[in-house]
Amino acid sequence: MRERTLVILKPTAIENRIVGKIIEPIEDKGLKIVGAKMLWIDRDLAEKHYAEHRAKPFFEKLIEHITSKPVMLLAVEGENAIAAMRQLAGATDPLEAEAGSIRGRFGIGITENVIHASDSRDSARREIELFFKPEELYTY
């Protein structure tokens, strides 16, 4: 099933200059970038994106981190793109993620886990709409 998913390269990824290293396995997997931009996410947008985590104890830290520096947003397309991106990203906690996965390779902290990838078709649709205008997404 051809799908689109939202990927966020979090502030740590930009700060540590590992954008290329993160994009490489995504393209190697056969996934296609159909939208890309940098954005300094404000609190309002961050709270909308992470609305499902509002009641969690880590919510404030999460919002502070994602708004601390610019991020890179990618809309990624391909066969089963949502599951494929989740596999590439690895488990949420970098210490539990497979060593070869993106989160497993770069960093240790769970808040600074380098990358976000949509967890379902509903989330992907909602998150892509939140960050991209239709004309910023390319069909090719």
H or E segment to which residue 125 belongs: helix 121-131
Q: For residues 77-96, which are near ligand CMP according to CB under 6 A?
A: 92
Q: Which of residues 19-48 bind ligand CMP (CB under 6 A)?
A: none
Query: Is the CB of 40 or the CB of 58 nearer to ligand CMP?
Result: 58
Which residue among the candidates 49, 53, 65, 116 is catalytic per the annotation? 116
Burial class of residue 38, CB neighbours in 10 A (0-12, 13-18, 19+):
exposed
Rounded to a whole number of angstroms, the minimum distance from the CB of residue 109 to ligand CMP is 8
Q: State which of positions 119-138 bind ligand CMP (CB under 6 A).
A: none
Among 5, 67, 101, 113, the residue binding ligand CMP under the rule CB under 6 A is 113
116 catalytic residue (yes or no): yes
Stretch that binds ligand CMP, among 39-47, 74-82, 109-117, 128-136 (CB under 6 A): 109-117
Give how far Cα 18 sits from Cα of 60, 100, 102, 103, 114, Å. Answer: 25, 15, 10, 12, 9
CA nearest to 108, candidates 120, 122, 91 = 91
User: What single-letter amino acid sits at 88?
Assistant: L
Give the dihedral sign, CA 61/5/17/90. Answer: positive
Q: Decide if residue 58 touches ligand CMP (CB under 6 A).
A: yes
Beta strand segments in 2-104, E: 2-9, 32-39, 71-79
Q: Shortest gap between Cβ of 33 and ligand CMP (angstroms)?
A: 19
- Beta bridge mates, 98: none
Least distance to ligand CMP, CB of residue 57, Å: 8
Active site residues: 116
Report the interface residues with ligand CMP, using CB under 6 A: 53, 58, 62, 92, 110-111, 113, 116
